[in-house]
Amino acid sequence: MTRFSRSLLFLSSYAPLFAIGLLLSTKDTGKATVVYAILLAGGLLAVVVVVALFGQRQAVDIEIRGLTAQGEGTAGYIASYLLPFVFSDFSGWQDVVAVVAFIALIGVVYVNSSMIHLNPTLALAGYTVYEIQFATHGAEPEAATRQALLIYHGRRPRHGDAIAARRLSDGVYMANQPA
């Protein structure tokens, strides 16, 4: 997955925090309101770009040979939402720098690791991230099985299900349950 794609997913993962921060900051309409409004707009734009990238990709038929849900760390990730609220008044430049530095630090860790499955925005939109083992649909049972992350909207896929997935980048696919 490219750094650009990971960065978009990171920014989108904080969209709920930015929305909450914007709501809380409107009582004093100071710098915090502007900062949160800009960050929220960026987070929402990131979601639009990810979905647009998803729609442009050619679907590949894959057969699920194994899967594991990857959302168990989301609660811990959401705990990282708390620190920016400590500085929510942005009364001094130090507060702004501290929050930006904190979010940048989390962003570097997120982008340079395999934390894309820790994305509350995807969860709110009904997506679940699975680590899957798959082969090209219709391949012989002994065909090489590959591993990837699947960002999936719908009921939990089962072993043997054929899914039309779109490749977002190396090792990351996205799909919706057929209607």
What pLDDT sits at residue 45? 92
Q: Average pLDDT of the chain?
A: 80
64 strand-pairing partners: 134
pLDDT tens-digit readout, 100-119: 788 888 888 877 776 766 78
Average pLDDT over residues 22-34: 78
Q: Which tokens sit at 149?
A: 């992350």
In one-letter notation, the amino acid at residue 8 is L
At 166, list the tokens: 């779109």
Model confidence at 133, pLDDT cuts 50, 70, 90, reads very high
Per-residue pLDDT at 64: 92
In the chain, where are the structural domains located?
Answer: 3-176
pLDDT above 80: residue 65: yes
Alpha-carbon separation of residue 140 from 134, 136, 167, 173 (angstroms): 12, 9, 22, 22
From 107, 87, 78, select the one nearest 32 (Cα to Cα). 87
Q: How confident is the model at residue 170 (pLDDT cuts 50, 70, 90)?
A: confident
Name 164's bridge partners.
61
- Which of 78, 100, 79 shows the shortest CA–CA distance to 32? 100
